[in-house]
Amino acid sequence: MRSLLSTRNPSWRGFSSSASCLLKVGDSLKQTRIFSNEDVVEYAKVTFDYNPVHFDSESARNAGFEDRLVHGMLVSSLFSRILSSNFPGAIHVSQSLHFKLPVYIGEVIVAEMQAFTLRRINNRYLAKFSARCFKNGDLLALDGVTVAILPTLAMAQVHPSG
């Protein structure tokens, strides 16, 4: 399961103010990932989703795709990765997703979450983010909304991993 959570590139952020480490409305959090055949196989082992479009090029082409697909929910897991790496202890409350384009094994995917609502509730924060994944630079593959409970608006230091 470790390979599903590792990243080849560190997260990077766009801030309203470069001097601040507190999340503000309008701030963006990003993660870049290339999903491999191994990622797809390991995801299928966990979810038991062995749809042939993920494992057989001919089946994928017969279904109208160019080649084998990355599971859509595996792609959307980048949003959980962004939340957990920036806000340890965050609780992912809800997520709506619209799959716009297929994601193929080996494509560069950039997941971006942009805060559009932040509301303090007792000693935590309810945060709403627009959630989008782009492939090959600027093609929108997935969009939606993610809601999370954050323990703080202070973002953790992101350390690049393997």
Q: What is the pTM of this model?
A: 0.82
Do residues 136 and 119 touch, judged by C-beta distance below 8 A?
no
Higher pLDDT: 8 or 67? It is 67
Tell me, what's the pLDDT at 156? Answer: 86
Smallest CA-to-CA distance from 111 within 26, 2, 9 is with 9
Residue 101 belongs to some domain of the structure: yes
Number of domains observed in the structure of the chain: 1
Residue 159 belongs to some domain of the structure: no
Higher pLDDT: 155 or 17? It is 155
Higher pLDDT: 49 or 5? It is 49
Tell me, what's the pLDDT at 45? Answer: 97
| C-alpha of 107 from chain center | 14
**Please, which residues have CB within 8 angstroms of residue 54's CB and are 6 or more apart in sequence?**
40, 44, 60, 68, 69, 70, 71
Tell me, what's the pLDDT at 20? Answer: 52
Residue 158 belongs to some domain of the structure: no
CATH number, domain with residue 71: 3.10.129.10
Domain range spanning residue 60? 2-150
Q: For residue 99, give the amino acid letter.
A: F
Residue 144 belongs to some domain of the structure: yes
Tell me, what's the pLDDT at 8? Answer: 39
Tell me, what's the pLDDT at 159? Answer: 47
pLDDT digits (tens, 9 = 90+) for 6-46: 333 434 444 444 445 899 999 999 999 999 999 999 999 99
Mean pLDDT of the chain: 88
Residue 155 belongs to some domain of the structure: no
What whole-number distance in Å separates Cα of residue 12 and Cα of residue 82? 10
Residue 157 belongs to some domain of the structure: no
Tell me, what's the pLDDT at 158? Answer: 56
In this prediction, what percent of the chain has a pLDDT beyond 70? Answer: 84
DSSP string across the chain = -HHHH--SS--EEE-SSTT--B--TT-EEEEEEE--HHHHHHHHHHH----GGGT-HHHHHHTT-SSPBPPHHHHHHHHHHHHHHHSTT-EEEEEEEEE-S--BTT-EEEEEEEEEEEEEETTEEEEEEEEEEEETTTEEEEEEEEEEEES-SBPPPP----
pLDDT digits (tens, 9 = 90+) for 115-138: 999 999 999 999 999 999 999 889
